[in-house]
Amino acid sequence: MPDLDFTTVRVQDVSRTYGRRRALAHVSLEAQAGRVLGLFGPNGAGKSTLLNILATLLRPSAGKVLYGTHASETAGDVLRASIGVLGHDLYLYPDLTAAENLAFFGRLYGVPDLDARVAECLTLARLTDRADDRSGGFSRGLRQRLALERALIHRPRLVLLDEPFTGLDDASAHILIARLRTLAADGAIVIMATHDFDTAETLVDDAVCIDRGRAFPIVAGSGSLRDRYRLALQETR
Ligand code: ADP
Ligand code: MG
């Protein structure tokens, strides 16, 4: 499937309600190729809702998202083929081996030269020696690495990650940070939701605070990410 050419994603005045509950209110932000954007905020702030809208899995109640010049409503399947998502749920089949899990998703996306690409993904996941083991027997860190390469098997331009550090030990977190930096360096747009400031500190290029459905920029500058986040929050309350 051909994919779309875009180097920016713009969220424009997006709101989303679930029944009477407002999960997002007039959110605007921009993400760029080559950069990692962090979405920070407490539980229930609206981060996952925003990621699901960016993934085109959920529609905004108002406002729009532009992928380059393309709107999600008109770009459809071609746009979806340019997006990779790693959510809370890793969507691995425990009875399939690491290689089989990758091949299964690769076929769904119509990835060319699939055998070679699966081998490449196993190398990137550092799982070559576990290729023929069932993913159900893997530790959280190994499953996470496999799920990430599964989400990237079709070389998406936009990579969305929801709380990717959950359940990872320090070593696994560092491997993930390095992988996401490489992705951005290779030109992907990376957007990640997390409440883990310390882990994300060295990773993110841009940061936005999501609080009760509203988005505020966390300005670059001196002080830790956590301190600058607190400042952004204070100014909104
Ligand atoms: P976060 O990811 O920052 O924890 P969410 O986007 O999951 O926040 O949730 C934002 C708000 O929307 C919360 O109040 C949550 O309860 C509500 N919400 C999320 N998903 C649904 C849903 N499917 N139905 C109803 N309310 C939802
Ligand atoms: Mg969430």
The pLDDT tens digits for 170-224 are: 988 999 999 999 999 999 999 999 988 888 988 999 999 999 999 999 988 888 9
Could you tell me the CA-to-CA distances from 135 to 75, 170, 203 in Å, in that order?
Answer: 34, 21, 28
User: Ligand 1: which of 15, 17, 21, 61 to mutate, judged by most atoms within 8 Å of the beta carbon?
Assistant: 21
Q: Is 18 in the pocket of ligand 1 (CB under 6 A)?
A: yes
Q: Quote the pLDDT of residue 3.
A: 67
- Cα 22 to middle of ligand 1, angstroms: 9
Which ligand sits nearest to residue 22's alpha carbon? Answer: 1
pLDDT score at 88: 86
Which residue's alpha carbon is nearest to atom 23 within ligand 1? 18
Task: Indicate which atom in ligand 1 lies nearest the CA of residue 16.
Answer: 12
Bridge partners, 31 (sequence order): 9
State residue 2's pLDDT score.
54
Task: Say how many Å lie between the CA of residue 21 and the centre of ligand 1.
Answer: 9
- On the question of pLDDT at 5 being above 80, the answer is yes
Q: Which of 11, 15, 17, 49 to mutate to test the pocket of ligand 1 (most atoms within 8 A of CB)?
A: 49
Q: In whole angstroms, give the CA distance from residue 97 to residue 44.
A: 35
pLDDT tens, residue by residue, 64-93: 999 999 998 777 888 999 999 999 889 999
Q: Whose CA is nearest to atom 24 of ligand 1?
A: 18
Ligand 1: residue whose CA is nearest its atom 7: 48
- For the stretch 15-66, pLDDT in tens is 999 999 999 999 999 999 999 999 999 999 999 999 999 999 999 999 999 9
Q: Is 48 in the pocket of ligand 1 (CB under 6 A)?
A: yes
Tokens 């499953």 correspond to 143
pLDDT in tens, 90-115: 999 999 999 999 999 999 999 999 99
- Asked whether residue 1 carries a pLDDT value surpassing 90, the answer given is no
Q: How many Cβ atoms are within 10 Å of 96's Cβ, its own excluded?
A: 15
Both tokens of residue 232? 């952004």
Are 173 and 199 in contact, with CB atoms under 8 Å apart?
yes
The residue whose CA has the least distance to atom 11 of ligand 1 is 23
Nearest-CA neighbor of 213 among 49, 14, 87, 25?
Answer: 25
Instruction: Please report which confidence band the pLDDT of residue 167 belongs to, taking 50, 70 and 90 as the band edges.
Output: confident
How far apart, in whole angstroms, are the C-alpha atoms of residue 122 and residue 160?
20
Ligand 1 pocket member 47 (CB < 6 A) = yes
Question: Which residue's alpha carbon is nearest to atom 14 within ligand 1?
Answer: 44
**CA–CA–CA angle 197, 64, 150 (5° rounding):** 55
Helices (H), the chain: 47-54, 72-80, 98-108, 114-124, 140-152, 170-185, 197-200, 225-236
Summarize the confidence of residues 129-141 as an average pLDDT: 96
pLDDT at 136 over 90: yes
